[in-house]
């Protein structure tokens, strides 16, 4: 097996992926300040020194663990039906909020004031997601389905209620909720934006 260690899919890559996955789970459970390298190693089925050797800095470990999920978090489909694509986007967010990955990201956002590195990672992940939404909104604007809008606030307006409902956990977030949110915000944006 000599020489295969650095090949993608090889042993090193697999070990790294296991360590990063374990990190995400533990950050989700214990927070960035609370998770322990020993437990990461236990969960990943590796020796503690493998974790320390690869990531001597715990912030770098957290940042890399979070960044692997950029792709999962930053997709908005283009089926040609804006309403449907946005409703699907909200359903993905709602389902994601129940996953360790995204809970880890949420935990991380509570720590952004303490750690510049984590702040940069969280900012980058949120920017990727917001860039994906922006690309989809640009298509809609080019197709004259939507006036030019403030992307950031638009994203916050449709996803904010999803976060609130899921995080409170007092009632389930349904597709009907997602549809109503998208309908109200789209209609409101069209009614209030100049040059609509």
What does the chain come to in residues? 196
State how far the Cα of 16 lies from the Cα of 110, in Å rounded to an integer: 26
Q: Is 194 left (phi over 0), alpha (psi -120 to 50) or beta?
A: beta
Q: Which lies closer to its own copies via its Cβ, residue 142 or residue 170?
A: 170
SS (H, E, C) 163-177: HHHHHHCCCCCCHHH
Q: How far is the CB of 54 from its own copies (least distance, A)?
A: 29
Per CB under 8 A, the list member of 45, 98, 164, 175 interacting with its own copies is 164
Taking each helix axis from N to C end, the angle separating 58-67 and 116-142, rounded to the nearest 10 degrees, works out to 20
Our finding on whether 141 is near its own copies (CB under 8 A) is no
Least distance CB 4 / its own copies (angstroms): 41
Interaction of residue 160 with its own copies, rule CB under 8 A: yes
Q: CA dist 118 to 52, 79, 124, Å?
A: 18, 34, 10
194 forms part of the interface with its own copies (CB under 8 A) = no
Asked if 170 is part of the footprint of its own copies (rule: CB under 8 A), the reply reads: yes
Among 29, 126, 134, 147, binds its own copies (CB under 8 A): 126
Structure tokens at 155: 């994203």
Tokens of 20: 């990063």
Q: Which of 3, 142, 191, 194 binds its own copies (CB under 8 A)?
A: 191
The one among 123, 135, 148, 175 contacting its own copies by CB under 8 A: 123
189 belongs to the binding site for its own copies (CB under 8 A)? yes
Closest by CA position to 116, among listed 16, 32, 27, 23: 32
Contacts with its own copies by CB under 8 A lie at 109-110, 112-113, 122-123, 126, 150, 153, 156-157, 159-165, 167-170, 177, 180-181, 183-192
């Amino acid at each position: 097996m000599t020489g295969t260690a650095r090949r993608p899919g090889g042993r090193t890559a697999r070990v790294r992926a296991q360590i990063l996955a374990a990190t995400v789970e533990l950050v989700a459970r214990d927070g960035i300040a609370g998770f322990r390298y020993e437990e990461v190693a236990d969960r990943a089925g590796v020796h503690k020194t493998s974790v320390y050797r690869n990531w001597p800095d715990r912030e770098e470990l957290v940042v890399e663990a979070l960044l692997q999920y950029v792709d999962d978090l930053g997709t908005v489909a283009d089926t040609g039906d804006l309403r449907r694509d946005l409703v699907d986007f909200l359903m993905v967010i709602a389902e994601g909020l129940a996953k360790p990955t995204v809970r880890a990201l949420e935990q991380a956002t509570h720590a952004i004031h303490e750690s510049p590195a984590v702040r940069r990672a969280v900012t980058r992940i949120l920017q990727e997601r917001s860039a994906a939404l922006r690309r989809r909104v640009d298509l809609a604007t080019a197709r004259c389905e939507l006036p030019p809008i403030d992307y950031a606030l638009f994203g916050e307006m449709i996803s904010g209620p999803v976060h609130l409902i899921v995080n409170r956990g007092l009632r389930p977030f349904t597709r009907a909720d997602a549809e109503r949110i998208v309908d109200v915000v789209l209609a409101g944006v069209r009614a209030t934006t100049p040059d609509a």
